[in-house]
Chain A
Amino acid sequence: MAKGQGKYKGLICAAIFIVLEIAALSMLSRTSSLQSHWLKRIAYRPLSVLWRGAESVRSYFSLKGQNERLAEENFALNEKLRAAAVAAQAPQSGLNARMNYIPATIVKMSRDSQHNYIILDKGSDDGVLPLSGIISDKGVVGIVDVVDRNYSYGLTLMNDAVQVSSRIGRDGIVAPLVWDGIHSDRAVVNCVPLHYEAAPSDTVYTSGFSSVFPSDIPLGTVVGTSVSHGAIGQVKVRLFQDFSTLRFVTIVSSGDRQVIEELSAHGEGAKK
């Protein structure tokens, strides 16, 4: 009981001291500008540490929002870039102009098997169609396989069932690009004629010879060549997109895909 009273008295004493000291310091601060500046300097030092700490915590918790805002901004900028590129290429091709782009966030993505997949937070309600391409600002990510109302399931480029029609350099040969099966940022361009010499550091682009991806999306750079089975040339590519750091993507689909597929099917039928 006495101990509790002592603590109570101590608290009152401390409170009186603090109140009187604040009163004295505020009088001091009002009377002399020199002392006022000195007191402010002393007071702001711990306050600045507190403010900095609070700002760090606030920044940390607002990172998610900032990331989403940046992703949206990035998407808008990419849209403008694509529009500008299409406008520049308008005389040669009108295909990219009819591409639809939908921003999406990765819900789940596997990276540790030979058949990796990706699940996105956009589905048929958002206009996503099966066999749409999945790209990022750094290249091709994969292809949408199955579409739900709110989600899409796709195969990533890190899946041996996925191949992308690619072109080595702006005017090089066109050949399928597939994942090398080992690294998260490596791929190989298969079926390259042996006489073709790819220069190291050449950029590999999408060819645009499919209705899935628009043309001229940079995929990666050539890092070397090899010969497979003694007859088929291979070009090793270091992808711009590292799959281990991926979070936001864009789903891309061609508005003319149905027409192209119908024409293709008609052409195949005529051959038979």
Chain B
Amino acid sequence: MRNLQFWLVYLILLVAQTIICAAFNFSQLVSFWFLPMMILCTPIRFNTNSLLVLAFVSGVLVDLLSQGVLGLTSAALLPVALCRNLVVRLVFGSEVFSRGEDISLRRQGLLKMSIAVALVTALFLILFIAADGAGTRPFWFNAVRFLLSLVVDTFFSLLLVGIINPGEGQKWR
């Protein structure tokens, strides 16, 4: 049941991300992304191989449906999926894996969650902005875009963490 709820919310957020990419271009300096957070919050029992496939498919769907540059989001999201377990181990500790608990704001706390979300978002943005600019934009522009996007995306991602994984029920399994 919890799985079904997660995937339903994941799908809704994926559609929301697609609509934002297709219709809402706030500014050239801000890219609005919460896909990295969605990959981070995927259930821990999901192994890296499945996570890589999920990231690839999600990226392709977003690019395809938002009529973006096909492959751009996937290329930037795959390293996030690859590093997800490393980030979780680094920020939340290895116990998360041994307990098999899911990532949620309630369980891990705001500070740790902020760090983890910021890390995966930063990784995604570095690759995305570099590939999107394709060496045609000056460094300062990319740097400003990265910093502004990181702040905005981390903030909104933290708001959405509660939706994708509310962390209800028992704290320890």
Which residues of A are in contact with B by a Cβ distance under 8 Å? 12-13, 16-17, 20-21, 23-32, 34-35, 37-38, 41
Q: Is B19's CB within 8 Å of the partner chain A? A: no
Chain A interface SS verdict (over half): helix
Nearest-neighbour CB distance to chain A for B96, whole angstroms, equals 18
Q: Contact between B69 and A24 (Cβ–Cβ < 8 Å)?
A: no
Complex contacts, B48 vs chain A, CB 8 Å: 13
> CB distance A35 to B72 under 8 Å?
yes
B71: chain A residues at CB < 8 Å are 23-31
Docked pose: A267 CA to B55 CA in angstroms: 104
In the assembled complex, B131 has its CB within 8 A of some CB on chain A: yes
* Structural contact, B52 and A32, CB atoms closer than 8 A: no
**Does B135 lie at the interface of the complex (its beta carbon under 8 Å from any beta carbon of A)?**
yes
Known contacts A13-B48, A27-B60, A37-B134: does B78 contact A20 (CB below 8 Å)?
Answer: yes
Q: Find the residue from A17, A25, A34, A37 having the highest chain B CB count within 10 A.
A: A17
Bound Cα distance from A12 to B50, whole angstroms: 12
Majority SS of interface residues in chain B? Answer: helix
Contacts of A13 in B (CB 8 A): 48-49, 52, 82
Instruction: Say whether A38 contacts B52, CB under 8 Å.
Output: no
Q: B134 contacts A21, CB within 8 Å?
A: no
- In the assembled complex, the Cα of A37 lies from the Cα of B53 at a distance in Å of 27
Q: Are A24 and B74 in touch, CB under 8 angstroms?
A: yes
- Could you tell me which residues of chain B, from 24 to 46, have a CB within 8 Å of some CB in chain A? none
Question: Of the candidates A12, A17, A28, A41, which one forms a contact with B69 in the assembled complex, judged by CB atoms under 8 Å apart?
Answer: A28
Tell me whether A35 and B131 are in contact (CB under 8 A): yes
Residue B82 contacts which of A17, A31, A32, A35 (CB distance < 8 angstroms)? A17
Report how far A235 CA is from B9 CA in the complex, Å.
Answer: 102
Residue among A21, A26, A41 facing the most chain B CB atoms (10 A cut-off) = A21
Q: Assess whether A20 is in contact with B52, with CB atoms less than 8 Å apart.
A: yes
A38 shortest CB reach to chain B, Å? 4
Inter-chain CA distance A12–B55, complex, in Å, is 17
Q: A13-B48, A24-B74, A28-B75 are in contact. List 4 more A-B contacts (CB 8 A).
A: A17-B82, A27-B74, A31-B69, A35-B72
B3 at the A interface (CB under 8 A): no
CA–CA, A24 and B81, complex, Å: 14
**Given that A21-B78, A34-B136 are known contacts, is A28 also in contact with B131, CB under 8 Å in the complex?**
yes
Task: With both chains docked as a complex, state the minimum distance between the C-beta of A136 and any C-beta of chain B, in angstroms.
Answer: 55
Question: What's the Cα separation between A23 and B55 when bound, in Å?
Answer: 13
Report the separation of the CA atoms of residues A31 and B60 in the bound assembly, to the nearest whole angstrom.
Answer: 12
B158 contacts partner chain A, Cβ-Cβ < 8 Å: no
